[in-house]
Structure 1
Amino acid sequence: MVARPPSPSIDTRQRVQRVLLITLALNLTVVVLKATVGWMTGSLSLLADALHSVTDSANNVLGLATNRLADPQPDRDHPYGHHKFEAVGALGIAAFLGIACFEILKSAVERIFSGGSLVTMGSAALWIMLLVLGINMFVAFYERRVGLALNSKILIADAHHTMSDIWTTIVVIAGLIGVWYGLTWLDVALAFPVALLVFKSGWKVLRENLPWLVDEMAIAPEAIHSQVMQVPGVVNCHSIASRGLLGRQVFIDMHLVVEPPTVNQAHQITEAVEDHLEAIYGPARITIHVEPREYTEEEITY
């Protein structure tokens, strides 16, 4: 059995933490502005949107906590590293989105059956909401750009959340304009699509992070088999398995049939296989079980 030492991963936590601190300050500003305008106008959709923005700030705090735990280097208690803490944080974002969706729908239904105060609009409220929209757009594109550059799941997930906030803010602004022209029912009616947008964003974050936590296949075994067979001295490989996140950290296991009869020669072949896979799929942690030439196996994976 030959186990390759874990490849060094780049620790980007400080850069991620700086981005989260900047966006936290901006999101808190957005919460204050939305809540102020919502209180001034009595708009249900705007107060619901402010609640959505509260989750943005909570997500940033959650991201800061999980980012400090997501050390890419393994230790005694976590020999496979700490990367999944980021995925856990992303799932926390999905949970916050679910809560926000429920609260929006609950408030809209209550307004329909029990009524409420009339919404009053003014030009100042619309200008403030346009400012809020600009802040949200900056946060979303800033987090997404840095998240893709650093391959940070928590930043990309939070950018998806903020993108949903952009669309909800646009919907709310449209509703406020409608109220300004006398369509008072628009405020409650538009609360429902706001809730749907929030739910869609949460589902997307959940779908992208859950496979990582349940160790779903990271690389197709056929692709790994094709690459391994290009290394001189390899007769065959089988029982191929992979998990992790491609481009972040992957773990590859396999059984390898080699041609050389000596242990030293077989070891050299496994080193060549590891270097080849590392160059294509790295950073990777690769474990290889060497088997004699006479061994045969029809299936390349489980």
Structure 2
Amino acid sequence: MTQSHPNPMVDNRKGVRRVLMVALGLNITMSLLKLLVGVMSGSLAVIADAMHSATDALSSLTGLVTNKLSDPRPDRDHPYGHRKYEAVGALGIAGFILFTAIEILMRSGERLLEGLPPIRVTGQELVLLTLVLGFNLLLAGYELREGRRLNSNLLKADAQHAASDVWTTVVVLVGMAGAVWLQVSWLDVALAIPMALLLIRVCSQVLRSTLPWLVDHMAIAPEAIYAEAMSTAGVMNCHDIASRGVLGQQIFIEMHMVVDADDLTKAHQITEQVEDRLEETFGPVRCTIHLEPKDYVEDWITYTGAHG
């Protein structure tokens, strides 16, 4: 059994933390502005949007806490590092998004039962919401760009949350404009309900991108790992391939391999070449290879470990 030396893991937490601090400050500011407009106008959609921005702030705060915990370096109690704390933080963000959607639906039902009381809107309030919309656009773009640069699922999830806030603010502006110029009292609720459904969709997207990491879903197709290993000189066969982790951050690969070598030194050199090739192709990897005798090469042994 050979195991590669753990690769130096890129600790991008400082950069992620800086982005989350900016997001937290902006989200708190936007929450207060929206709440002020909502209280002054009596608009359910604006108050709901203020709550959405408040959950944005909470998600940024959650991200800061989990970012502090998600040290990629292994220790005695966490030999594979602490990266999954970041995934837990992304799940927390999904929970905040879902809570907001349910709250909007509940408030819409209450407003319908109250007989759709009219909302009061002034030009100043519309200007404030337009300003908030501009902040939303800048924040969503900033977090998404930095999330891709730092390869952070946490930032990407927070960017999705911020992007959903852009759409909710657009919906709110349309509803308030309709109340001012068209005198349509039901438009506020009619737009708040699809806004809540949009948030539920965003929540499902965050879950789909995060849960595979937490449940150790396959990170790289075994066929792809097999192809890279078999392209290395001296490799005769490999099978029982498994992988987990996050592509581009840290992948853990296990496999059984047969090499054309008569001594341990040469066999080790071949496995090192395989590890280097895998890292060049897939990014940071930590590879555990179980060497087997040459007579293990049989037609039925494949990369899936299945009997043909």
The one-letter code of the counterpart of 1:107 is R
Residue deviations 1:102-132 (CA, integer Å, cap 9, x gap)? 1000000111112364201110110000000
Determine the C-alpha separation between the residues in 1 that align with 2:283 and 2:190.
50
Aligned to 1:69: 69
Instruction: Kindly report which structure 2 residues correspond to 1:207-246, keeping only aligned pairs within 5 A, or say none.
Output: 207-246=208-247
Instruction: Kindly report which structure 2 residues correspond to 1:166-177, keeping only aligned pairs within 5 A, or say none.
Output: 166-177=166-177
Aligned to 2:20: 20
Instruction: Kindly report which structure 2 residues correspond to 1:184-195, keeping only aligned pairs within 5 A, or say none.
Output: 184-195=185-196
Q: Alignment RMSD, CA only?
A: 1.0
Determine the C-alpha separation between the residues in 2 that align with 1:56 and 1:218.
29
CA drift of 1:254 comes to 0.3
Determine the C-alpha separation between the residues in 2 that align with 1:210 and 1:54.
25
Q: Which runs of 5+ in 1 are unaligned?
A: none
Question: What secondary structure, in the 3-state scheme, does the structure 2 residue paired with 1:287 have?
Answer: strand
Aligned to 1:294: 295
Determine the C-alpha separation between the residues in 2 that align with 1:170 and 1:112.
22
Determine the C-alpha separation between the residues in 2 that align with 1:220 and 1:126.
51
In the alignment, is the contact (CA less than 8 A) between 2:38 and 2:46 conserved in 1?
yes
Determine the C-alpha separation between the residues in 1 that align with 2:220 and 2:202.
26
The one-letter code of the counterpart of 1:131 is L
Aligned to 1:87: 87
Determine the C-alpha separation between the residues in 2 that align with 1:78 and 1:282.
22
In the alignment, is the contact (CA less than 8 A) between 2:116 and 2:185 conserved in 1?
no
CA drift of 1:18 comes to 1.0
CA drift of 1:279 comes to 1.3
Aligned to 2:6: 6
Q: Which runs of 5+ in 2 are unaligned?
A: none
The one-letter code of the counterpart of 1:201 is V
In the alignment, is the contact (CA less than 8 A) between 2:116 and 2:186 conserved in 1?
no
The one-letter code of the counterpart of 1:266 is A
Instruction: Kindly report which structure 2 residues correspond to 1:1-150, keeping only aligned pairs within 5 A, or say none.
Output: 1-115=1-115, 117-150=117-150
CA drift of 1:242 comes to 0.4
Question: What secondary structure, in the 3-state scheme, does the structure 2 residue paired with 1:218 have?
Answer: coil
The one-letter code of the counterpart of 2:5 is P
Aligned to 2:270: 269
In the alignment, is the contact (CA less than 8 A) between 2:2 and 2:289 conserved in 1?
yes
Which portions of structure 1, spanning 4 or more consecutive aligned residues, are displaced by more than 4 angstroms? none
TM-score calculated relative to the size of structure 2: 0.96
